[in-house]
Chains A and B, each alone.
Chain A
Amino acid sequence: MAEYYITQSKMTALLKELASDSGMEVFGPVKKGNDVFISKMDGKTELCLDYFISVNSIKEAIFPRFEPILKYKLRSEGVELAELPPIKPLVVFGGHPCDAASIPLMKDLFSWDYKDHFYLQRLEKVVIITLACVEKDENCFCTSLGGSPHGETGSDILLERVSKDGWQAKIVSEKGKKFIETHLDFFRDTITPEKGIPKLQDKDIPVMFQSDRVKKWIEKNFDHPLWEEVASNCWSCAACTYVCPTCHCFDITDDATMWEGVRTKNWDACTLPFFTKHASGHNPRSQSYERYRQRISHKYSYYIDLFNHVSCTGCGRCSRVCKAGVNILDIVKRIDEESKKGEK
């Protein structure tokens, strides 16, 4: 099979070219302050290619912060449903394997009996170009959940750094193959692999807990005091869930004038105080630790019951953004410890 390479400058040029096409949506890494965000590009966007990990995940390209799910006209004769804008083809560049792995994970949810064609159509139309990891930090734990710093799950093309200036492009899916063939001019250069380019192996990110043991503990310990202890400093914002590649909860709201309206699906979060509050005032999860327990239990237990997979890819984003000091890895490791104690 042919080998494909692409330089940084060619990649920038390719993404800019694609982003100038109004028929397409292109997402890439953009620097802001000390951090990088996966952002929607236009032809003028300045890309940043030198970063460890973006604050947000690539989730918002495929599951947008808000999107119209219904449009209607309000007429004196009654209500009339209107056309929704078509879903455009997408290119998403700049996530890591922990981002890409979340996309098929959420597919299970969005196709559970009722098919959410907004998510599924985007999934069909997206080309996900992922960067294999060359760096890690203390919050990374993908290997504990079956992931890998050079994992292919969910990607269409995986880029592995071979020189300071470029990557080798590995075709992962048919979509990826077609993408490279269509834009072959950008992938023609041959780059001789340089020495000293860091490569991250699975063993560089040690496995830190056993997720099946964690699940067993969660099943039996809903009322355990540990929950309150580990999550009492959570102040109930949604930063963790919004940067999370697998958190998928949403709200549905209407916005209308006298003549027309739109119904949108908007990100929402189980950590926010009003998420489960009934109209009567009753709130099944009224305390912040109860909401955080839901977040962890959903990922590490309930999701497995439904779809046979942990709903976490070990990217560590939630821990990095949380300034209240809630650290998911610490908590899951702690649960694993408790579980081991129980086994003895």
Chain B
Amino acid sequence: MQELVKKAKELIESKEVDLLIGYQSDGEKGAKPLFVKNTQQAEKLIFNQYCLNNLVTYLKRPDVKALKKVAVVAKGCDIRSFVMLLSENQVSRDAIFIIGMTCDHVVSPDGTGENEKCTTCKVHNPHLADVVLGAPVPEKIAKDKPVHYAQLEKLNAMSQEERWAFWQEELSRCIRCYACRQACPLCYCERCIVDFNTPQWIDTRSNPRGNFAWNIVRALHLAGRCINCGECERVCPANIPLMLLNQSLQEEAQEKFAWEAGYDPESQPPLTTFRKEDDEDFIR
């Protein structure tokens, strides 16, 4: 990763950026975020198949936002979340330097092999970056082909009662640590709905009512916005299959609005726009 270290040093030395967020190795089979502020720290930068974290999530943090310019190491999938931040006016394009990394797939250190999200990836080669590093990777899926998530099939085949029982069991383990929210690049609200108490919209206790309300409201707030980076599910200490919720809504957005989030910064998410020709069959 000579190339990456060299580019990072260049950006830091020239003072083009105040901070660079990248990856460092974490044991033999692992990587973790690294905040680089000097060239010595830049030496630790790596990029490999264990670089799972979506580092774009740090761009929402107040202390990072306050900096003049920040560089971030990002895979194609991560850049999709950056595109969403751009189209929702959460970052200024000039304030961020994207070091795009080509990527065939990422691998969890637990030995489960290629990450599930990589099987539907259309951006192995970064689609928006200030510099792209790494050899080009052949794209396997055409841009305009709708994505289908295989793991949803089991859920969709269930009866309503079975689904209810399934989610009751899964969500009972939610301890309301908000790791899903904090790791999500698109959960950027300065004050989250769950932190509001006038009125208290969502029960903050980790009881069935609170857990259902929290997880469903979060999924709905991501409808048409989630870019399938899978971070919420990956960071969940309780192993709750949160992506099932997000992916259902993604398929919905494709079906109803022919929309996939995170590719084009010029286009607007379906729930923030209105078009006369939109199918409104949900209004009954």
Contact = CB atoms under 8 A, between A and B. Distances in A.
Interface in A233-267: 233, 235-239, 241-243, 251, 253, 255, 264, 266-267
A266 B177 contact: no
B173 A323 contact: no
A232 interface: yes
B93 to A, nearest CB: 23
Contact of A66 (B61, B177, B205): B205
Interface in B175-199: 175-179, 181-183, 191, 195
A286 B62 contact: yes
Given A138-B27, A266-B206, A324-B183, A239 B32 contact: no
B175 A65 contact: yes
Interface in B91-126: 110
Contact of A323 (B176, B179, B200, B204): B179
Contacts, number: 99
Nearest to B180: A237
Contact of A269 (B61, B177, B237): B177
Contacts of B62: 286-287
A66 B203 CA distance: 11
A37 B173 contact: yes
A183 interface: no
A56 B83 CA distance: 36
A138 B109 CA distance: 14
Contacts of A229: 35
Contacts of A324: 32-33, 53, 183, 235
Interface in A214-232: 229, 232
Nearest to B181: A237
Interface stretch (A27-35, A75-83, A124-132, A305-313): A27-35
B12 to A, nearest CB: 15
B34 A238 contact: no
Contact of B179 (A138, A239, A264, A325): A239
Q: Is the interface of B mostly helix, strand, loop or mixed?
A: loop
A325 B30 CA distance: 10
A18 interface: no
B182 A236 contact: yes
Nearest to B231: A323
Contacts of A323: 52-53, 179, 183, 231, 234-235
B182 A66 contact: no
B238 interface: yes
A324 B53 CA distance: 8
B239 interface: yes
A142 interface: no
B10 interface: no
A32 B238 CA distance: 8
A51 interface: no
Interface string B208-246: 000000000000000000000001001101110000000
Nearest to B32: A325
B185 to A, nearest CB: 10
A235 B57 contact: yes
B178 A238 contact: yes
B33 A242 contact: no
Interface in A40-79: 55-56, 65-66
Interface size class of B (residues with CB under 8 A): 35 or more
Contacts of A35: 239
A238 B177 contact: yes
Contacts of B175: 56, 65, 238, 242, 267
A65 B183 contact: no
A233 B32 contact: yes
A65 B206 contact: yes
Given A235-B57, A235-B58, A242 B177 contact: yes
A37 B231 CA distance: 21
Contact of A243 (B27, B31, B32, B237): B237
B281 interface: no
B237 A233 contact: no
Contacts of B204: 251, 253, 266
A322 to B, nearest CB: 8
Nearest to A33: B239
B248 interface: no
Nearest to A67: B205
A272 interface: yes
A11 interface: no
A274 interface: yes
A77 to B, nearest CB: 26
Contact of A266 (B57, B191, B200, B205): B205
A34 B57 contact: no
Interface centre among A138, A255, A274 (most CB of B within 10 A): A255
Q: Which interface residue of A241, A274, A288, A323 has the most chain B CB atoms within 10 A?
A: A323
B207 interface: yes
Contact of B205 (A34, A253, A274, A287): A253
B26 interface: yes
Nearest to A238: B177
A32 B206 contact: no
Given A243-B237, A288-B63, 17 more contacts: A32-B173, A66-B206, A233-B32, A235-B57, A237-B183, A238-B179, A239-B235, A239-B237, A242-B237, A266-B205, A269-B177, A321-B179, A324-B32, A324-B53, A324-B183, A325-B31, A325-B32
16 contacts: A32-B173, A32-B239, A34-B239, A39-B173, A55-B237, A235-B183, A238-B177, A241-B177, A242-B175, A242-B177, A243-B237, A267-B206, A273-B195, A323-B231, A323-B235, A325-B31
